[in-house]
Each structure stands twice: as C-alpha cells, then as structure tokens.
C-alpha cells in the first residue's frame, strides 16, 4: 500500500525567508502524481503544486517549488520569500496513475510565519 | 473561482443518531469523494463516486456509511448510527473528467462531534 510520511509536525519561518517542508512516500508504481495542499485555519485545502512522476523537471508555481527525487521517493516543498499568508497546514499527497482514484495523505506540517 | 462547499461547518450529534453531511461539488465536475481526518491523524479516503455509483471505497466505509447524489448538485454522506469514533473532520472533494480527474478540489470540511 502507498504511504506518505511527513516527518515535521511543525515548522516556523521568518517572514521573507525560505523554508523547506519534507515528504517521503512509498510505492511500487512507476508513474504517479504527487501534490502539496495548503489548508489555512478553517478553510478548504487548496492545491499548491503538483508533480507528475515521469517528468524529471521539478514543478514550480511562483514562490513555491518542489525538489522531486524519484529514486529516493522524496518530494519536498520549498517556499521562498515567505509571507504571513503562507501560514497554514501543509499536506503532501500521492495518487497513482492507474487503479484507485483516491489520494493518500501525509499527517501534515503546520507552518508558522514569524513577522 | 468555483469552489466546493460543505454544510454544516460543525455538527454535534448524540451517539446512535443518524447524520447527513452535505456537499455541493464544483458544477461541471464528474468525480466526487469523501475523506475524513480524525484529530491528530492523517486525512483518510472513504469513498469515491462516479456516474451515480460508488467507484471505490475504503475499509472504513462500512455498512453504516452511504453516499448519494440526490439532485444532480448535492453530494451527501450519511452515517446511519454514529459512534464516538466517528468524530472527525469530514472533507468532500470533486474533480473534473478526463485528465482533470487527477486534481481534486476540497471543501472546508464539516467537523462532526459525536457525544
């Protein structure tokens, strides 16, 4: 079964600085999707960024980028120039390309941004 | 921007009572999901729904649970006889057809408290 592990329950970053959130996963599939979702307090989970496993190039979305290491099964999220609005719970998630359509989530990392 | 809406935001019920959690997915989406998150634990998949029937379900989704799309816009999760361990945050999600099914959009969740 697929498992997703986020080893950092909490992280903090100074405003304008850079922070990296870690995620590892386990799968026997060769092609799949990886996602980072952001959940602000009492708000819905918003997709931040996604990566397709067959693409070697790391995905970027403005200040958000990933470091995807397929062999190591690692998928970290880097947030550059952190802003107060980045404070949220961040979830890493996995979805296989074939078979079941559901997401497998990690336990989340709570990010605090210090002014 | 279209979003998934869930009502109520918080539901309190007595053990043994039936509850219905409601979701309005994004209007042109074809796939619908329920997930839950027990406090301090991972977000877990419950069920997916496509073409008016359940397409996948997890071990958690036993006979006490049912889903329905009664009117082409709402997507409901019913728990027939709630137990204390059903207390959790319940998230609804939807995704589009084709390649769009790989991106799930989430609601803000319903917190269910079973007393």
pLDDT digits (tens, 9 = 90+) for B55-103: 999 999 999 999 999 887 899 999 999 999 999 999 999 999 887 778 9
Give CA separation, A21 vs A47, A92, A107, in Å. 15, 9, 12
pLDDT digits (tens, 9 = 90+) for A84-108: 999 999 999 999 988 778 999 999 9
pLDDT > 90: what percent of chain B?
Answer: 81
Q: Which of B45, B55, B108 sits opposite A103 (nearest CB)?
A: B45
User: Could you tell me which residues come within 8 angstroms of residue B107 by beta carbon, excluding any fewer than 6 positions away?
Assistant: A44, B3, B4, B5, B6, B23, B91, B92, B93
What is the nearest CA distance from B90 to chain A, expressed in angstroms? 11
pLDDT value of residue A71: 94
pLDDT value of residue A98: 80
pLDDT > 70: what percent of chain B?
Answer: 100
pLDDT value of residue A4: 95
pLDDT value of residue A1: 63
Q: Which of B4, B9, B102 sits opposite A33 (nearest CB)?
A: B102
Cα(A11)–Cα(A89) distance, rounded to whole angstroms?
10
Cα(A33)–Cα(B111) distance, rounded to whole angstroms?
28
B45 contacts in chain A (CB < 8 Å)? 102-104
CA dihedral B23, B24, B28, B34 (to 10 degrees): -10
User: Does residue B42 surpass a pLDDT of 90?
Assistant: no
Structural Rg of chain B based on CA atoms: 13
A110 contacts in chain B (CB < 8 Å)? none
């Amino acid at each position: 079964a697929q498992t997703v592990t986020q080893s950092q329950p909490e992280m903090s970053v100074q405003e304008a600085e850079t922070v990296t959130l870690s995620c590892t996963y386990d799968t026997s599939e060769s092609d799949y999707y990886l996602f980072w979702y952001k959940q602000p307090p009492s708000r819905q989970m918003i997709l931040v960024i996604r990566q397709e496993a067959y693409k070697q190039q790391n995905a970027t979305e403005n200040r958000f980028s990933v470091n995807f290491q397929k062999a190591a099964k690692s998928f970290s999220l880097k947030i550059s120039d952190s802003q107060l609005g980045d404070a949220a719970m961040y979830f890493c998630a996995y979805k296989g390309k074939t078979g079941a359509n559901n997401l497998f989530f990690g336990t989340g990392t709570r990010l605090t941004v210090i002014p | 921007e279209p979003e998934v809406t869930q009502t109520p935001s918080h539901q309190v019920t007595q053990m043994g009572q039936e509850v219905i959690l409601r979701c309005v997915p994004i209007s042109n989406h074809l796939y619908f999901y329920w997930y839950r998150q027990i406090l301090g634990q991972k977000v877990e998949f419950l069920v997916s729904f496509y073409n008016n029937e359940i397409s996948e379900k997890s071990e958690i989704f036993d006979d006490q649970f049912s889903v329905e799309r009664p009117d082409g816009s709402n997507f409901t999760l019913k728990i027939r006889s709630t137990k204390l361990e059903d207390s959790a945050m319940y998230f609804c999600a939807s995704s589009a057809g084709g390649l769009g099914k790989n991106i799930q959009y989430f609601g803000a969740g319903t917190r269910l408290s079973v007393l």
